[in-house]
Amino acid sequence: MKKLVGNVLLTAGLIVGAITAARIPPMWGGVAVSLAIMGVGIFLRRQGEKEELHRAAESGTGGVKELDALLTDAISRIEKIMDAPREEVVRELTKVLEELEEFAEKAQPLRIEGLMTYGNIMSIFSRGERALNRAWSAFADGYEEEGRKYLRYGYEDLKETLSAVRALKV
C-alpha cells in the first residue's frame, strides 16, 4: 500500500511541479511544495518496497532457499550434459537457461542483505548465465569445442554463485 501511495504522490508532485515551473515567472512556492510531495512519495515508495522484500523473504517466495534449489537443479542438469552429444546439449541447455531466467526475480529479496551482497551474487550469476548462453549459441552453430569451453565456464560460475548464496545462510 505504501508503494502505491508513494507512486501516486510522486506522480502528483511531478505534475504539479511541471505546471508551476512552466509559468512565467515560475511559481517557486508551488515548485517547492511539489518537490516536498515528491520527496514524501519517494520515501513511501522505498518503504513499501522494503516491506515487500521482507514479506517475500519471510514467506519463502524468492530468497536463499529457492535460489539454492534453482541453482542446485541447474548445476546437476549441466553435469549430466557435459559430455553428451551436441543435440542433447542444445536441448537440455535450452531448458536450463529458461529456468535460470527466474533467478533475477527470485533474487530480489537478497537486497535485504545489502546491495553489495546482492550485487556480488548477481555479478557472478550473470557472468555464468552469459557463458551458458554463449555455449548454447556455439553448440547451435556447430562449434562444439567452443561450446564445451563456455559450458564449463558457466558451470563453474553457477557453482560459485551457489557457494555465495549458501554463505548467506550462516
Taking Cα atoms as reference points, which of 103, 94, 146, 99 lies closest to residue 127?
103
Look up the domain containing 123 and give its range. Answer: 64-168
CA–CA dist 119, 40 (Å, integer) = 27
**pLDDT string in tens for the chain (170-residue length):** 888 888 899 899 999 999 998 888 888 998 999 999 999 999 888 888 777 766 765 665 556 778 888 999 999 999 999 989 999 999 999 999 999 988 877 787 777 677 788 888 889 999 999 999 999 999 999 999 999 999 999 999 999 999 988 887 53
Taking Cα atoms as reference points, which of 70, 6, 64 lies closest to residue 38?
6
Give the list of residues 6+ apart from residue 105 with CB closer than 8 angstroms, or none: 62
Whether 52 and 72 share a structural domain: no
Give the gyration radius of the chain's Cα atoms.
Answer: 23
How many domains in the chain? 2
Whether 94 and 158 share a structural domain: yes
Whether 38 and 75 share a structural domain: no
Cell digits of residue 72: 542446485
Listed residues 44, 59, 74: the one ending a domain: 59
